[in-house]
């Protein structure tokens, strides 16, 4: 089941919300746990075996570590946590590198349970003795398939006590509709354009640039749209997750880009890998080593091919260059130029994401600059550019802060002093527009899964 489906929007979600808001407080967590399992098992029930195993294995591990600590065996307790984390990683590696297919979201929920184990190890959280609370943490349907990767210490308190009222519902529903609009109208349209541009028999320089740009924008609207929907859904049930994207294509360095893109994954690696290794509080050589480890692991987490490893190293090199070379070299250059250069670097990096082989990735990168291309442009590439020019303009505009700032000033800050009733009507009208537009696109188009489902 995916968020951008008619069944989810008009059957599953309304039914779960209705039951959740009607049942008394003691039953709300039972509803969420059942919803998570139904959502995850939908379409492929056998995947539920692995999710439930992960839940039970790590829940019992936490209890065992607590028992050992209570008997004064601190070293043994930490050994149990380390052994369990190694087993979780081994299971993930088996599916990612040896199996023909992976259970949905295994990379995400494995990092979820590892967060729990590491938080226990670091003393950031207490052992969760309530199995229902821990099951919700692992299987919460807004985040189980593609994140965001919420650290256990950040979600621990709201598992037991949270508020889900009118304010949370409207705020979360608005964000959900924003994400649905991003996915159904913009990302899927960009996906169709990407497929068309990448299928040319005699690719030109222009078609190579269009292929790269279409995919880079599609990936952003697809994944940020999913994250908006997930965070909005969570808020409707009283959970407050931090944002996962912060206009990353406005970044003026690659390091800044990774503080704005897939924020939950970046924070996970900082908290559980980079900081324990010493972070930036060590010498230059060790900082370079720590950064390289993080980016190698980031590449491996994303995929099981050499292309993803190269992609991780590629970004790691630029993060180090930003730190030691480019921040001084480009200091006097206008920010808009630095932003354009950063976008170019990140867009080229995404070529490794969608290319079937390393050779094809480097071949397309070469064509961006004329190597191996059949001329600068042909009728097909010009046709694609003209036919998708408006889409590209809308997408570029949507990558900026302008839409959210305008909406905030009109609706949330009410800069024009409109009557509260008028503001409510305007906000409702926008939500209705987003919903109708998204549903129309979903009905008119074909099924399109989220890109990060494959990770």
Structure tokens at 184: 């159904």
Rounded to whole angstroms, the Cα distance separating 96 from 111 reads: 14
Identified catalytic residue from 247, 302, 315, 427? 302
Helices (H), 239-305: 254-260, 263-269, 284-302
Whether the upstream peptide bond of residue 201 has omega within 30° of 0, thus cis, is no
Catalytic site residue 315? no
Residue 138 near residue 33 (C-beta atoms within 8 A) = no
Find, among 149, 105, 156, 84, the residue nearest to 3 by Cα. Answer: 105
Burial (CB count <10 Å: 0-12, 13-18, 19+), residue 329? exposed
Q: Cα angle vertex 156, ends 151, 161, to 5°?
A: 140
DSSP labels for 119-159? HHHHTSS-----HHHHHHHHH-TTTTTT-----HHHHHHHH
Structure tokens at 15: 């039914």
Q: How many CB atoms lie within 10 A of CB 256?
A: 18
Distant-in-sequence, close-in-space partners of 72: CB < 8 Å, separation ≥ 6: none
Phi and psi torsions of 253, nearest 5°: -155, 160
Sign of the Cα torsion 41, 43, 240, 65 reads positive
Residue 391 near residue 189 (C-beta atoms within 8 A) = yes
Point out the residues that are catalytic. 302
């Amino acid at each position: 089941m995916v968020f951008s489906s008619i069944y989810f929007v008009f059957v599953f979600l309304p039914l779960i919300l209705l039951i959740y808001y009607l049942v008394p407080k003691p039953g709300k967590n039972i509803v969420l746990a059942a919803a998570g399992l139904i959502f995850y098992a939908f379409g492929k029930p056998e995947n539920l075996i692995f999710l439930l195993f992960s839940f039970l294995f790590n829940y019992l591990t936490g209890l065992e570590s607590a028992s050992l600590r209570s008997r004064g065996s601190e070293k043994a307790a930490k050994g149990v946590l380390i052994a369990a984390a190694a087993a979780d990683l081994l299971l993930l590696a088996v599916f990612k590198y040896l199996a023909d297919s992976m259970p949905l979201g295994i990379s995400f929920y494995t990092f979820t349970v590892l967060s729990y184990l590491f938080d226990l190890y670091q003393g950031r959280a207490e052992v969760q003795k309530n199995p229902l609370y821990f099951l919700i943490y692992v299987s919460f349907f807004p985040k189980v398939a593609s994140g965001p990767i919420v650290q256990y210490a950040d979600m621990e308190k709201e598992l037991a006590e949270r508020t889900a009222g009118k304010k949370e519902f409207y705020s979360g529903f608005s964000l959900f509709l924003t994400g649905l609009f991003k996915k159904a109208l913009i990302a899927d349209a960009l996906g169709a354009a990407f497929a068309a541009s990448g299928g040319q028999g005699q690719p030109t320089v222009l078609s190579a640039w269009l292929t790269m740009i279409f995919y880079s924008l599609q990936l952003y609207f697809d994944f940020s749209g999913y994250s908006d929907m997930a965070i909005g859904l969570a808020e409707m049930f009283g959970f407050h997750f931090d944002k996962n994207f912060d206009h990353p294509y406005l970044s003026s360095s690659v390091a800044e880009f990774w503080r704005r893109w897939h924020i939950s994954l970046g924070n996970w690696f900082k908290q559980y890998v980079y900081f324990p290794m010493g972070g930036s509080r060590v010498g230059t050589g060790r900082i370079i080593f720590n950064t390289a480890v993080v980016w190698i692991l980031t590449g491996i987490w994303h995929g099981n091919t050499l292309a993803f490893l190269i992609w991780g190293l590629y970004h790691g090199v630029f993060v180090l260059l930003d730190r030691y070379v480019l921040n001084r070299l480009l200091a006097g250059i206008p920010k808009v130029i630095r932003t354009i250069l950063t976008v170019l670097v990140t867009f080229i990096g995404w070529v490794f994401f969608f290319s079937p082989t390393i050779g094809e990735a480097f071949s397309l990168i070469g064509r961006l600059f004329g190597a191996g291309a059949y001329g600068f442009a042909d009728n097909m590439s010009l046709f694609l550019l003209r036919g998708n020019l408006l889409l590209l303009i809308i997408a570029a505009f949507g990558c900026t802060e302008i839409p959210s700032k305008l909406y905030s000033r009109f609706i949330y800050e009410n800069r024009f002093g409109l009557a509260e009733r008028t503001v409510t009507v305007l906000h409702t009208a926008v939500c209705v527009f987003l919903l109708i537009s998204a549903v129309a696109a979903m009905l008119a188009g074909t099924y399109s899964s989220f890109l990060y489902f494959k990770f």
